Structure 1
Amino acid sequence: MLPNRPFPPSPSLRPARALLALACAAALPAAAQAQSAPPLRLPSVVVSATYTERDTFEVPASIDAEPARRLDRLNVNVSETLNAVPGVLARNRQNYAQDEQISIRGFGARSTFGIRGVRLYTDGIPASMPDGAGQVSHFNLETADRIEVLRGPFSALYGNSSGGVVQIFTADGTATPELRAGIAGGSDGTLRANLNARGVAGDLDYNLGVTHFETDGHRAHSAAQRTSGNGRLRWQLPGGGNLSLVLNTVNIPNALDPLGLGRAQFEQDPRSVAEVATTYNTRKSVSQQQGGLIWEQPLAAAHSLRAMGYYGQRDVFQVLAIPPGAQASPLSQGGVIDLANEYGGGDVRWLWNGQLAGAPLEVAAGVAVDRQRQHRTGYENFVGDALGVVGRLRRDQIDRVESRDLYAQASWTPHPDWTLSAGARRSRIDFDSRDRYITATNPDDSGTADYGQTTPVAGVLWRASPTVHAYAAYGRGFETPTFAELGYRNDGGSGLNLGLAPARTRNAELGVKLRPDAALGMEFAVFRADSRDELAVATNSGGRTTYQNIDRSRRQGAEAALRVDVAPAWQFRTAFTWVDATFESPFLTCTGSPCTTPDTPVAAGQRIPGVAREALFMGLRWQPAETGWQAGLEGRYIGEVPTDDLGRDRADAYAVFALSAGYTLDLPRWRIGTFARVDNLFDRHHAGSVIVNDGNGRYFEPGPGRTFLVGADLRWRAR
């Protein structure tokens, strides 16, 4: 990566785009020859908790499967879908230089960029790195079928940093091949355009699509563009097996970063930008390409195998607002970050459906290996009096992390009313950093850190009646520090903070699921997670944040969800979450910037920042048929959110509403859908998200006021 280039679309991205375009073109002849069939509906099965397809009603865990897209949405950000899932706080930061914020039952809330504490997957391929850091910017909703969200103890079976699991799955090709195109536009220069081809041609099932999104931004200095592509080609093999090729790509060139706002500026002008953001032209560019192969093959005697391998590249270039004075120290690593990532791995899994003592038994066991190599360079963000440019080299290192995991899980039904489930995962994560920037005043900072943990989990499902199921589950999880959190020592010295320990969690859950009939479904769960060695901020100095372990923390609460058809054409749903997330032991932290030594006590019982205690979603939808008129009303309430460990400020609670309406016309070979949508219907001033523990007190990221969106979706079906 050349440090002074304006980061145009990566050359390596162009072959991926060409491949997608070629595949779309190739799909058209197959579409023209296929026979018509009724549209496919979303299946009610999930795979996230058991590694096998199972109805959510039969899983001893809190898990939801949500349709990834809906006609009356922008269909760009996963928060559009996850807002309706209990236990999940998903927030669009209105800042595409940073990823969305996703936390599950309070896990992951402290992340100021990227996603921590929650494991991410696309079609079973990890979207989280071995150190636990992840992104959802390459999740393509237009090609997706569903998003699964797993909460609670069973997420520990996914290893490091699994406070919860979010998986997106590409939709199957339609029996009648289709070519889809969509466009939507609205307030703040928002535009989304997409093209998608899906269908079946002989033994080949295909779904390929490209989405382009751009916005001027709700705030000043927040314009962005994002182009993402996703494709899956699946071949049927002899003996009932299949081979899937999954390709996805994302390109975000020069997304402007408006940073957060302090309380006074947030109240006075929520569309404004922090002055330093324009002074340094803070911005970020991302280019990622990833591919994976998945082979699934049934064998004799109810055995089957699944093997997956993947490889990807992700380049990140970011200009920060660190003043030159803070870079005067010979140990400073500059104000420009340039990362070149290569990552890959594989997973081999054996599954067996048999019997134990004459009762059904399912067993899954496997091994997974994931590796990441990151070339991290840092530069000064000034040259003379010119700011926001690439200056002298101040950091050059090669970081490697590797995880090696063994896992096994079994589900046994000794009686029709009872299913017992248990499993364990043994994880080993090795960090290695090789310093290549060594001077007389900047010593060799190379080092290693190794972590290992076994995470067992067990659960029981009791079928109290055909319509009422109850369950209990318990497990242990862990979360290592990421490379970003290891990056700086909290004693002011050079090198990695290799003294950090992984957080370890004991996680318990009780729940009830009710399905009195096809028109009504209810779920309720209570949970508690006690953690040791929780990661928290130690210091803020010179634009750098360092971390420390604190003894104990706790996250406990309750979730409830209801789905009901109140009339033949009316559907109502609601999801409520209450989370009490607190530090259970006292510790010292910093109170400002610069701060090189923690000196202010945080009392036991202080709320963990970034976690809303209450969250409520309600939605009412009128849809007499798949075609014709439809309308919807949604409301969302988020309780107040502490902004830092000391609780010195809080984002106020707020409620926002959205109203949508549309019309779908079905013709012999065409389906045309149109919609109009108004978000934040009553123009409520609110903080859509917060930057936890920001050293400059710029905690608030304003949510947009009243916005408008209109769009159309076209589907051409072969005869």
Structure 2
Amino acid sequence: MQSKFHTIPINMTLLCLTSCICQSLYAETKAITPIVLPTLKVEATRTDTAWLNTPASVYRIEQDKNQNNLGVNLTETLKGVPGLQLNNRENYAQDLQLSMRGFGARSTFGVRGIRLYVDGIPATMPDGQGQTSNIDLSSLDHIEVLGGPFSSLYGNSSGGAILTSTKEGSGQDSIELGYSAGSHNKNRADVILQGGADKAGEPSYVVSSSYFDTDGYREHSAAKKVLSNAKLTWDLDDGSKVNWILNHVDIHADDPQGLTREQWKANPKQQVAFLKQFDVRKEINQTQTGLTWSKPLNDQHELYAMAYAGQREVIQYQSIPSGTQTNARHAGGVIDFNRDYYGTDVRWTGKDLFPNTRFTAGLTFDYMDEDRKGFENFDANGNYGVKGDLRRDENNTLWNLDPYLQASWNFVPAWTVDAGLRYSNVHYESKDHYIDVGNGDDSGKTDYDKVLPSVALSWAMTPTLNSYVSYAKGFETPTFTEMAYSADEGMNFNLQPASSDNYELGLKAQNSWGNFTAAVFQSKTQNDIVSAGTENGRATFKNADKTLREGLELSWNKALWRDLTAQASYSYIDATFDAPIPNSKVEKGSKIPGIAKNQAFAAIGWQPETGFNVGVDVRFMDKVYVDDSNSDAAPRYTVASANAGYVWKQADWKVRTYVRADNLFDENYVGSVIVNDGNGRFFEPADGMNWSAGLSVSKAF
């Protein structure tokens, strides 16, 4: 399918779409009789306002409406969120590829530039690197996605924020057993125990555990994953609320790695023959726990506190030949680290201290202590895929202490100003314990800090139509992985953080025609972190002078008739280097790799509480450049999916069945790209037509 959007000038597109929507929505709200609509509450901006009155691009996705799927990846749930590009690598060793408005697109593994939270606990480390692997879809209640300027409220690397929340136990004690199967010998079994509290002071609870394994779509892409999640909630007599969360994930996954364009076209399922000898794989073991507490002191004052701690172990075997590792400066082909992390967030909220105002003041502290080692990936007999001699040994510590303020003032009935200020600071220190001939002491430390202001002005044009304009300063530090190597000897402590100026003009409507959003945005970034090529087998990074991201986002959803619902979204982003990068082929106007210029999504579904349900969706993604010089691109594609299920309830029993098919027309496309891959193996092929089916049975007691 060829996109027609890329031929339309951006200025004309923004002007026409925004003005047309404004006029049609305003006319519609005057013409109809006022109706009572449900209030959609969001928590991501910490302002305790309804979705319609929140001056930011924020979307809430209820997990109950996304149950006809396997329940393994966020790509199954976060569909159609404008501005969010979420790609499935078909590679459980490297996590999903996630970016928002172009932030985070450079990541070749894990998540960069976007803050992730699980029940209020950061899944992003102080340096800005995060992962989605510990998000439990079985016990998930909802997800909030926050983009645009207001995401800077979360500090470092908050080009966007994704906040997931586990459901709270309610009603009778119950147990649910489920099993799903799918293409490539996918198997997933899960159990969920839950129950509500009979009286104040007693906990409600949700306990979930699942096991998943697969042979994988491609050669050498098998994976096993065990995930357990528990949440206890106390509503106490004094009005306070306590949540205790415990989460554990254990992953063993093979890594098929990328392909060149020729290899992808010849056989998308293959692993490059030369790479098979290395047995590239990753093992992840992570446990974390946290406690949240909130208490209203009276009608005006409320306190909130969160504390968490976790431990993460990773062993990763890479495909680095022994000849490359003979360089004295090389860190080896096996990464082995053990990371302890903990932190806290405390804040006070005051309401109506002055007429129609709300103030929040808080302090966030995060700390990470990492013992990182590197080993040769071969033994004395020349066998690859085994842990050999030590080549790296260091201790890395990071911490931040961020104070922040937020204020909201409804100064006249239809106008509200929201403002925030955060001092974001990150402190790095590395102590090198591996010092040998030709490999000197790489110890060092550095500090990064930035004052991050934000402000938004919103206008309630009618009770069902709201507009806003906002600005914020953004800040993204390099991760420890990006600082690990430089063209010279030692860690790259000269790498600077990126800072951005972010602007947004938005419109929201909630009326009988559904929920609408339209947003025009621009982000100007200085010192964006980009690839500096490979030195002796090591990926290095540098700063680009200026980059520019600007575009448009539209979304709509509506209950059409009874249980028939529909949604649609469209995203346009023009992401370019706004200045040439010295000593490279990157000229001003070159496209930032990893970002699709156009995205579109549409879905329709019949979703009653019981009985037969069915849904179909279609997703379009534009081509994606693979490197800074735009030497090649993954082609644009359109894929369709369909699902059906049946829910039966009788007294204390509930049975749910489903079947779904993805990529219905067996499109041969690239699911994601490995940005700036030094070997030219940029392409990670997506699965062809594939299916899954499942059954769950629950019983209340």
TM tier, shorter chain?
over 0.9
Aligned equivalent of 2:673 = 690
2:599 is equivalent to residue 602 of structure 1? no
Aligned equivalent of 2:452 = 455
CA contact (8 A) 1:529 1:555 kept: yes
Aligned residue among 102, 106, 109 for 1:110: 106
Which has the larger displacement, 202-211 or 471-480?
Answer: 202-211
2:404, 2:693 → 1: CA distance? 47
Aligned equivalent of 1:611 = 595
Aligned equivalent of 2:85 = 89
2:233, 2:173 → 1: CA distance? 14
Aligned equivalent of 2:630 = 647
1:630, 1:200 → 2: CA distance? 28
Task: State the Cα distance separating 1:301 from its structure 2 match.
Answer: 4.9
1:516, 1:315 → 2: CA distance? 49
1:449, 1:486 → 2: CA distance? 11
Aligned residue among 454, 462, 475 for 1:478: 475
Aligned equivalent of 1:526 = 520
Deviations 1:92-114 (A, max 9, x none): 11100111111000000000011
Aligned equivalent of 1:187 = 183
Aligned residue among 603, 609, 612 for 1:626: 609
Task: State the Cα distance separating 1:713 from its structure 2 match.
Answer: 2.1
Give the RMSD, CA atoms, in angstroms.
Answer: 1.3
1:689, 1:232 → 2: CA distance? 34
2:520 is equivalent to residue 536 of structure 1? no
CA contact (8 A) 1:84 1:574 kept: yes
Aligned equivalent of 1:700 = 683
Task: State the Cα distance separating 1:473 from its structure 2 match.
Answer: 0.7
Structure 2: tracts of 5 or more residues without a match: 1-37
Aligned residue among 666, 675, 686 for 2:649: 666
CA contact (8 A) 1:651 1:690 kept: yes
Deviations 1:279-334 (A, max 9, x none): 10000000000001111111135211111111100000000001111111111110
CA contact (8 A) 2:486 2:540 kept: yes
Q: How does 1:255-294 map to 2 (within 5 A)?
A: 255-294=253-292
Aligned residue among 561, 567, 572 for 2:566: 572
Structure 1 SS opposite 2:112: coil
CA contact (8 A) 1:673 1:714 kept: yes
Task: State the Cα distance separating 1:342 from its structure 2 match.
Answer: 0.3
2:506, 2:540 → 1: CA distance? 38
Letter in 1 for 2:509: L
Letter in 2 for 1:287: N
Aligned equivalent of 1:251 = 250
- TM-score (norm: length of structure 1): 0.90
2:62 is equivalent to residue 64 of structure 1? no
2:97 is equivalent to residue 98 of structure 1? no
Against the structure 1 CA distance between its residues 396 and 178, is the aligned structure 2 distance closer, same or farther, given a 3 Å change threshold? Answer: same
Against the structure 1 CA distance between its residues 53 and 75, is the aligned structure 2 distance closer, same or farther, given a 3 Å change threshold? Answer: farther
Structure 1: tracts of 5 or more residues without a match: 1-41, 589-598
Deviations 1:655-696 (A, max 9, x none): 000011111111111111111111000000000111000000
Aligned residue among 546, 569, 576 for 1:582: 576
- Aligned positions, number: 659
Which has the larger displacement, 234-243 or 693-702?
Answer: 234-243
Aligned residue among 144, 151, 157 for 2:147: 151
Aligned equivalent of 1:302 = 300
1:676, 1:449 → 2: CA distance? 53
Moved runs in structure 1, 4+ residues, more than 4 A? none
Task: State the Cα distance separating 1:626 from its structure 2 match.
Answer: 1.0
Structure 1 SS opposite 2:279: coil
Structure 1 SS opposite 2:630: coil
Against the structure 1 CA distance between its residues 425 and 277, is the aligned structure 2 distance closer, same or farther, given a 3 Å change threshold? Answer: same
Aligned residue among 669, 672, 677 for 2:660: 677
Task: State the Cα distance separating 1:238 from its structure 2 match.
Answer: 2.9
Deviations 1:326-365 (A, max 9, x none): 1111111100000100000111111111142xx3111111
- TM-score (norm: length of structure 2): 0.93
Deviations 1:479-535 (A, max 9, x none): 0000000000123x2x21000111000000001101122x61111001000000011
Structure 2 SS opposite 1:464: strand
Task: State the Cα distance separating 1:79 from its structure 2 match.
Answer: 1.6
Structure 1 SS opposite 2:341: strand
Letter in 2 for 1:635: V
1:174, 1:460 → 2: CA distance? 39
Aligned equivalent of 1:377 = 373
Aligned equivalent of 1:22 = none
Identity of counterpart residues, as a percentage?
41
1:214, 1:332 → 2: CA distance? 34
Q: How does 1:125-524 map to 2 (within 5 A)?
A: 125-202=121-198, 203-253=202-252, 255-356=253-354, 359-383=355-379, 384-491=381-488, 493=489, 495-517=490-512, 520-524=514-518
